[in-house]
Amino acid sequence: MDFNLPPEIDALRLRVREFIAEEVVPLEADRANYNEYDNIKLSVLATMRAKARAAGLWAPQMPKERGGMGLRVIGWAALYEEANRSIFGPVCINCQAPDDGNMSVLNKILPSESMKDKWLQPIIDGDVRSSFVMTEPHPGSGSDPGGMMLTKAERKGDGWVVHGNKWFISGAEVASHFILMARTSDDPRRGLSTFLYHKDDPGWRITRRIANMGPDEHGGVCEVEFDGLEIPDEHRLLEEGDGLRITQMRLGPARLTHCMRWLGLAKRCLEIANDYISERESFGIKLADRESVQMMLGDVSKDIHIGRLLTMNAAWKIDQGDYARKEVSMAKIHVADTIHKACDTAIQLCGAKGYSQDTVLEWIYRYARCARLVDGASEVHKMVLSRAYRKEGLDFWRWGV
């Protein structure tokens, strides 16, 4: 076993670390750089993106011939973690959700270069944003799209007509390109299909941007209504009935990229806390010298490293051609807990300063709570692991792919 990063990946990782430290982290201190949803202002973002592209740090997950960095998944893990040392980092180098997952799946499944030129390239270039339209309000689909999805796409001539409702659709308010999941038959395994549509197509609308404890990604999370959206059949992805397959292709790596970014934020929390306790004195002793404080810091440090190993192992398995379903689920459960624990611990160690907006800890704390919900609640991933164990027995812990 070799736990060294390939030298070229490590060199890129250090370049991303330097860029984020010098160009992006300083933006966090000035509230004038934030929009009304506590994210980076678009005018400031445009400047940062231009700098990132000039530095050759753009779209790590996309092919070089399309303007990306052409990295495999272990490279994503190394760079995404460094990018999210800043709360603004991923979007500055175009590896933010939901675009990174959408770009990755479109790059895999679009059938022609002309289709990629139309639907994928503008997202890679940063000219448009995208959205994945799957989740529905009760009684529709949440973590069980195959069994509960109610939004329907019905055949009409050479195309499809869509009716239904979706909600908590990330980035919908600013997206131009949408990937839509809809029911096309009652087949329990092949009843869903996936389609592309553009924001200017008639027959759909955003009914509200859902307020939440935030902070929001660009475009928020929205509720969407379809009332006769017409989609030509050439905008169907793969074959009719391949919707669940596409969902697996997209959501597995996307869940893992969440973990990569969350680990960067968890490390940033410990960094802020360590700086504070190294200077702060109480009752004649620095906080860093108190055993109780050391135990808190050490416990979170351990959990972050476990998360990194789980994440990198899953990334390696995906690079070997494995779906890594249980490895992704393990990483998702653990890292979702860890980012919340890291931030909560850092706030406790920093006291009132951590609770204030003098640091980004309160931002990360509000953001971190969604980690145990997005892309499958932790309880669902534990069910996945239980099923895998009952099926595999002792082979659940086999080495390799």
93-117 per-position pLDDT tens digit: 999 999 999 999 999 999 999 999 9
Last residue of a domain, one of 124, 141, 160: 124
What is the domain-level CATH number for residue 184?
2.40.110.10
Count of all residues that appear for the chain in the document: 401
Asked if residue 228 and residue 175 are part of one domain, the reply reads: yes
The model's pLDDT over 243-283, given as tens digits with 9 standing for 90+, comes to: 999 999 999 999 999 999 999 999 999 999 999 999 999 99
Q: What is the pLDDT of residues 339-371, one digit of tens each?
A: 999 999 999 999 999 999 999 999 999 999 999
- Centroid of chain to Cα 133: 15
Output the pLDDT for position 103: 98
State the chain's mean pLDDT as an integer: 96
Sign of the dihedral through C-alpha 383, 385, 387, 393: negative
- Do both 273 and 374 map to the same domain? yes
Residue 113 sits in the same domain as residue 139: no
Tens of pLDDT, residues 119-172: 999 999 999 999 999 999 999 887 788 778 999 999 999 999 999 999 999 999
What is the CB-side half-sphere exposure of residue 158 using CA atoms within 13 A? 3
Examine the domain organization and report whether 182 and 82 are in the same domain.
Answer: no
Burial of 55 (0-12, 13-18, 19+ CB in 10 A): middle
User: Which of 124, 156, 172 is at the close of a domain?
Assistant: 124
Q: Are residues 250 and 366 in the same domain?
A: yes
- Residue 1 binned pLDDT confidence (cut-offs 50, 70, 90): confident
pLDDT of residue 54: 98
What is the number of domains present in the chain?
Answer: 3
Write the CATH number for 252: 1.20.140.10
- Do 268 and 208 share a domain, yes or no? no
Give the pLDDT mean for 23-40. 97
Residue 384's contacts (CB-CB under 8 Å, 6 or more residues apart) are: 325, 326, 329
Q: What is the pLDDT of residue 146?
A: 78
Residue 49, pLDDT score: 98
Last residue in a domain, options 96, 124, 152: 124
Query: Do residue 143 and residue 63 come from a single domain?
Result: no
* Domain extent for 36: 7-124
pLDDT given at position 143? 77
- Whether residues 93 and 184 share a domain: the answer is no
Question: What is the distance, to the nearest Å, from the Cα of residue 86 to the centroid of all Cα atoms in its chain?
Answer: 15
Residue 329 has pLDDT above 90, yes or no: yes
Any idea what the CATH number is for the domain that residue 117 is in? 1.10.540.10
User: Residue 245 corresponds to which amino acid?
Assistant: R
Query: DSSP assignment of 227-276, as one string?
Result: EEEEEEGGGEESSTT-HHHHHHHHHHHHHHHHHHHHHHHHHHHHHHHHHH
Please check whether residues 73 and 176 belong to one and the same domain: no
| φ/ψ of residue 132, rounded to 5 | -110, 120
Q: Is 162 helix (H, G, I), strand (E, B) or coil?
A: strand
Same domain, yes or no: 208 and 276: no
- Do 117 and 167 reside in the same domain of the chain? no
Find the mean pLDDT for residues 189-212: 97
Is the pLDDT assigned to residue 213 strictly greater than 80?
A: yes
**Same domain flag for 94 and 32:** yes
Q: What percent of the chain has pLDDT over 90?
A: 96
- Per-residue pLDDT at 147: 79
Q: Which pTM value belongs to this model?
A: 0.96
